[in-house]
């Protein structure tokens, strides 16, 4: 290698026009800044290609590597150019090109545990990207929801398990995504620990208290008022709430909204009539109470799968429905509507579609959607 050949090879990346474009000439820091602003304005450099390295720019303009580096950092802070995670600088337009190719991350329960609710949510979510050519990154968490037997309640991941899962996700994927769709099971206390990483994220099927995190859920207050009002309008003397499982913010919100609605309507629900029905033993006790009741009971079951199980148990026990006991479910998937069980209808597809629209907009929003009442044969 002849003296100066290394300099000439380095300079050639700046001197010789190529697929990236032609870099302007000059001497000194001011001239380099002028050159960078010029190609940024004229868009005369291929946005998909990196700018010359700081060493190449420094040698070409007769300044030190450190001086060139400080200038690039300042112009990056001003938004003239953009520094990618790989350390190279690009025209700022490159940011948009890179972001367009980043997927949307879906941090959900494993596919085998997608109920009709999440089938509908994801159907709506994918619709939002029919106009946005972006892929989705499915991160199916094995421990988030474990539900091998639908006759028993699901087991949700502990806070420690969730914390470990999120730490692993951000370690592997870092900022390699445009937004995040979160399963309702994620605990707000855990999510709050990762609030700075959860940029452009939305949680579905329940509200959230975390600033900067979007949510789309049913309007539980409006839905509960519809449900309780319907049962009283049908002439039931008492309302009992059937609680399908614990550790669910959505279930807890609907349960609490139902008790408030009953109080608002002037006929509060007694504490003993907010009944667990998660396990076969719970349901056996519940059916025995219904069978011995001397008044007409309207049952508001907060989840469709358990509502269907209760419908079958009520029939098997010889209880006349709706003559003696009425049943109304709180979700309204086809699991109950196809069997003519009265229900609220939460539009989970619209929840998913709205979540997708929020993520593509990049704006933080808290949205609730009003459920509908779908009377059937059980009230």
Exposed / middle / buried, residue 83 (Cβ in 10 Å: 0-12, 13-18, 19+): middle
84 contacts: CB under 8 Å, gap ≥ 6: 50, 90, 94, 98
Q: Region 250-276: what's the mean pLDDT?
A: 96
Fold of domain 220-346: Rossmann fold (3.40.50)
What distance in Å separates the CA atoms of residue 321 and residue 304, rounded to the nearest whole number? 17
Please report which confidence band the pLDDT of residue 50 belongs to, taking 50, 70 and 90 as the band edges: confident
Structure tokens at 171: 């370690």
Q: Region 295-323: what's the mean pLDDT?
A: 97
Distances (CA, A) of 134 to 24, 95, 137, 355: 35, 15, 10, 15
Orientation angle between helical segments 54-61 and 5-15, nearest 10 degrees: 100
Is the predicted pLDDT of residue 161 greater than 60, yes or no? yes
What is residue 21's predicted lDDT score, i.e. its pLDDT?
A: 60
Least confident piece of the model among 93-102, 159-168, 225-234, 239-248: 93-102
CA atoms lying within 13 Å on the CB side of residue 225: 8
What is residue 17's predicted lDDT score, i.e. its pLDDT?
A: 41
Q: Does domain 100-218+350-371 have CATH number 3.40.50.10330?
A: no
CATH code assigned to 5-97? 1.10.10.10
Phi first, then psi: what are they for 41, rounded to 5°? -75, -45
What distance in Å separates the CA atoms of residue 226 and residue 230, rounded to the nearest whole number? 6
The partner residues of 145 in beta bridges, in order of sequence, read 156
Measured from the Cβ of residue 370, the count of other Cβ atoms closer than 10 Å reads: 13
Task: Find out whether 125 and 348 touch, Cβ atoms under 8 Å.
Answer: no
- C-alpha 181: how far from its chain's center? 3
Q: Region 141-159: what's the mean pLDDT?
A: 87
Is the predicted pLDDT of residue 73 greater than 70, yes or no? yes
Identify which has the larger pLDDT, 278 or 142.
278
What is residue 310's predicted lDDT score, i.e. its pLDDT?
A: 98
Percent of the chain at pLDDT > 70 equals 90
Task: Find out whether 286 and 242 touch, Cβ atoms under 8 Å.
Answer: yes
Please report which confidence band the pLDDT of residue 166 belongs to, taking 50, 70 and 90 as the band edges: very high
- Matching CATH topology for 5-97 and 100-218+350-371? no
What is residue 97's predicted lDDT score, i.e. its pLDDT?
A: 63
Q: Domains of the chain: which residue ranges?
A: 5-97, 100-218+350-371, 220-346
What is residue 113's predicted lDDT score, i.e. its pLDDT?
A: 63
Is the predicted pLDDT of residue 275 greater than 70, yes or no? yes
What is residue 139's predicted lDDT score, i.e. its pLDDT?
A: 82
Convert the pLDDT of each residue in 116-141 to its tens digit: 899 999 999 988 776 656 777 888 77
Convert the pLDDT of each residue in 78-117 to its tens digit: 888 888 777 888 887 776 666 656 788 999 988 666 788 9
Distances (CA, A) of 128 to 63, 217, 358: 50, 17, 9
Q: Region 285-302: what's the mean pLDDT?
A: 98
122 contacts: CB under 8 Å, gap ≥ 6: 106, 108, 114, 352
Percent of the chain at pLDDT > 90 equals 61
């Amino acid at each position: 290698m002849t003296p100066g050949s290394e300099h000439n090879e380095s300079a050639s990346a700046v001197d010789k026009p190529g697929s990236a474009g032609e870099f302007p000439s000059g001497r000194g820091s001011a001239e380099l800044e002028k050159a960078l602003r010029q190609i940024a304005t004229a868009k005369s450099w291929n946005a998909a290609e990196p700018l010359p390295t700081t060493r190449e720019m420094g040698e070409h303009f007769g300044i030190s590597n450190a001086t060139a580096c400080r200038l690039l950092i300042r112009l990056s802070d001003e938004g003239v150019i953009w520094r990618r995670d790989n350390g190279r600088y690009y025209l700022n337009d490159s940011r948009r090109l890179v972001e367009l190719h980043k997927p949307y991350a879906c941090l959900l329960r494993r596919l085998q545990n997608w109920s009709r609710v999440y089938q509908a949510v994801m159907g709506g979510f994918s619709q939002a990207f029919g106009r946005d050519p972006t892929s989705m990154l499915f991160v199916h968490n094995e421990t988030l929801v474990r539900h091998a037997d639908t006759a028993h309640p699901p087991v949700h991941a502990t806070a420690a398990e969730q914390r470990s899962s999120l730490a692993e996700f951000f370690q592997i994927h870092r900022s390699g995504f445009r937004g995040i769709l979160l399963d309702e099971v994620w605990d707000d206390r855990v999510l709050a620990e990762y609030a700075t990483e959860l940029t452009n994220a939305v949680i579905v099927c329940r509200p959230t208290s975390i600033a900067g995190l979007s949510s789309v859920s049913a309007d539980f207050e409006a839905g509960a008022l519809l449900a309780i009002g319907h049962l009283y309008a049908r002439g039931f003397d008492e309302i009992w709430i059937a609680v399908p499982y614990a550790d669910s913010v959505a279930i807890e919100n609907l349960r609490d909204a139902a008790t408030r609605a009953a109080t608002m309507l002037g006929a509060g629900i007694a504490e003993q009539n907010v009944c667990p029905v998660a396990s076969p033993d719970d349901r056996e006790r519940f059916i025995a109470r219904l069978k011995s009741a001397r008044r007409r009971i309207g049952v508001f079951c907060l989840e469709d799968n358990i509502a269907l199980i209760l419908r079958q148990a009520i029939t098997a026990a010889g209880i006349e429905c709706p003559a003696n006991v009425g049943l109304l479910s709180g979700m309204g998937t086809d699991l109950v509507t196809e069997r003519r069980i009265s229900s609220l209808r939460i539009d989970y597809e619209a929840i998913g579609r709205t979540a997708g629209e929020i993520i593509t907009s990049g704006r933080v929003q808290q949205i609730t959607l009003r459920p509908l009442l779908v009377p059937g044969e059980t009230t």
